[in-house]
Amino acid sequence: MTLRIPLYLAIAQWALLGALGVLVIVLFRQLGRLLRGTATAAELGPVIGSRAAGLSYLRPGEQVPRKLAPGTGQPALIAFVDPTCPSCEQLVLTLDQLQAAGDLAAVRVLLLISDPASYLQISEAFSATELEIGRPSDPAGLESYRVTGTPLLVAVDASGMVTATGSAIRAAEVRRYIQASLGSTQAPAVAPAAVVRGEGTA
């Protein structure tokens, strides 16, 4: 007895099987990433304990670059974010909340974007924030920050040393970065090794 099936059914089965095969490959790649996750996380952000490099940046609508010179006595929290990145929008909202609560009073917060300034209008969070936003205008110094992904937070203490780096979104996580930047002047520092990298760790 011969089983006759419509040609389409046979082809559709192969298409479904092919898709399943691709998904299995995706599964193995995810597994591979999971296994070498720690090594990749170490490639994000500047080295903790190193001196933060100075940065020049342009604020939207301005032509003259401004400079961020770590080590001038004020702790800083540098956030590398982008208006087209949903997690970055959440981080900006969190920073706004922390600013309203007065948690950022002693820290200079700078949001550095790589998207063109026109993209700020696309995001409600970015267009509404009163935090300082800039776009790097000079590659000098930027390499040492190793911004391979966003959002990336870098806590710099008053002496210009990097005290914490990684990704964070929730207020509790961001507060730890604030404490880390205040570490050498006010609060006891969060041990760099104890800084938990955020959900976005690559």
Partner 1 sequence: MPTPVLVAVLSCKAVIAVLLLAAGGAKLADLSGFASTVRLFLPRPARARSPQLAAGIAVGELAAGAVSLSVPQARWPSLVVLAVCVAFALTWSVGYVRHRGRSCRCFGALSAREFDQAGVVRAGVLVLAALAAAAPVPVLSVQLGLGGRLALLAGGALIAGATCSAAAAAGPRQALARRAMSRQAL
Q: Which stretch binds partner 1 (CB under 8 A): 66-74, 80-88, 154-162, 188-196?
A: 80-88
- Give burial (CB, 10 Å; 0-12/13-18/19+) of 28: exposed
Task: Tell me the β-bridge partners of 136.
Answer: 57
Of 151, 174, 177, 180, which lies in the binding site for partner 1, with binding defined by CB under 8 A? 151
CA geometry: angle at 11 spanning 8 and 12, to 5°?
A: 80
Task: Tell me the β-bridge partners of 156.
Answer: 76, 162
Q: Is 32 in the site for partner 1 (CB under 8 A)?
A: no
Of 48, 89, 158, 161, which lies in the binding site for partner 1, with binding defined by CB under 8 A? 89
Cβ count within 10 A of residue 182? 21
Q: Which stretch binds partner 1 (CB under 8 A): 78-86, 155-163, 174-182, 183-191?
A: 78-86
Of 53, 77, 92, 150, which lies in the binding site for partner 1, with binding defined by CB under 8 A? 150
Q: Containing H/E element for 57?
A: strand 55-58
CA geometry: angle at 134 spanning 122 and 132, to 5°?
A: 90
Q: Is 27 in the site for partner 1 (CB under 8 A)?
A: yes
Residues that bind partner 1 (CB under 8 A): 5-9, 11-16, 18-20, 23, 26-27, 30, 33, 44, 80, 82, 84-89, 112-115, 121-124, 135-139, 142-143, 145, 147-152, 167, 169, 198-202
